[in-house]
Amino acid sequence: MRIAVDFDGTIVEHAYPAIGKEIPFAVATLKRLQEDRHKLILWSVREGELLEEAVQWCKERGLEFYAVNRDYPEEEAEKNNHFSRKLKADLFIDDRNIGGLPDWGSIYEMVTHKLSFEDMYNGQDDDYQTSRHGSHHRSHHKKGFFARFKK
C-alpha cells in the first residue's frame, strides 16, 4: 500500500515550527511497515526549510520516505498539469483523524490485518490470536465495545 503519514502530532509531538519529541514507537513502526513493503509518503503542512528539517530528522533515525508531499518522488507541479496536493494514497495516518491517533502498535495491527478503526474500537483487534508457530488467525469470538472494559 501507499501510506501517507503526517509529521507534527503523528511522528513527533506538536511543537511546530520546532520539532517535538518522537511519539513512542512511531519511527520503529514506520520502518517495520517499510520492511513489509509498504511505500510511505511524508505528508505534511511543512514547506521549504521546515520540511527539510523534518525530512532530515527522519533520515537521522533511518527513516526515508518514498516521496515527500507528492505521489511519487519525481513528480513536479510545474510539469504535471494534473498535480494536486491531495495525495493518491491507500491510507492516511494523521493525528487529526476522527477519534484521534491510535497508538503505533494499534496502527501496525490495523495495517497488517486490514482492520478499520471501527474494528479496533469494537475489539476485533483482540480476535487475532498468535499460534505457537507465529502465524495469526482470527478467532470466531467477537467482543463488543463495552466488554473490553470488563475484567
pLDDT band at 48 (very low <50, low <70, confident <90, very high): very high
Q: Which CATH number does the domain housing residue 26 bear? A: 3.40.50.1000
Considering 21-30, 127-136, 141-150, the range whose residues carry the highest mean pLDDT is 21-30
* pLDDT tens column, 61-92: 999 999 998 876 555 555 555 555 667 787 88
Using an 8 Å Cβ cutoff, are 43 and 9 in contact? no
pTM above 0.95, yes or no: no
The tally of domains found in the chain comes to 2
Rounded to the nearest integer, the mean pLDDT of the chain is 79
Examine the domain organization and report whether 131 and 91 are in the same domain: no
First to last CA, the chain: 37
Can you give the pLDDT at residue 67?
92
Examine residue 108 and state whether it is found in any structural domain, yes or no. no
Examine the domain organization and report whether 119 and 65 are in the same domain: no
Examine residue 107 and state whether it is found in any structural domain, yes or no. no
Domain hosting residue 64, numbered range: 2-101
Examine residue 72 and state whether it is found in any structural domain, yes or no. yes
Examine the domain organization and report whether 6 and 46 are in the same domain: yes
Examine the domain organization and report whether 19 and 54 are in the same domain: yes
Distance from C-alpha of 100 to C-alpha of 80, rounded to nearest angstrom: 34
Can you give the pLDDT at residue 91?
86
DSSP assignments along 7-76, one per residue = -BTTTB-S-TTS--PBPTTHHHHHHHHHHTTPEEEE--S--HHHHHHHHHHHHHTT---SEESSSSTT--
Q: Which phi and psi angles does 49 have, rounded to 5°?
A: -60, -40
Quick check: helix, strand or coil at residue 136? strand
Examine residue 51 and state whether it is found in any structural domain, yes or no. yes
Examine the domain organization and report whether 121 and 89 are in the same domain: no
Examine residue 55 and state whether it is found in any structural domain, yes or no. yes
Can you give the pLDDT at residue 150?
46
Which is more confident, 126 or 69? 69
Cα dist. 120→9, 85, 86 in Å? 21, 30, 27
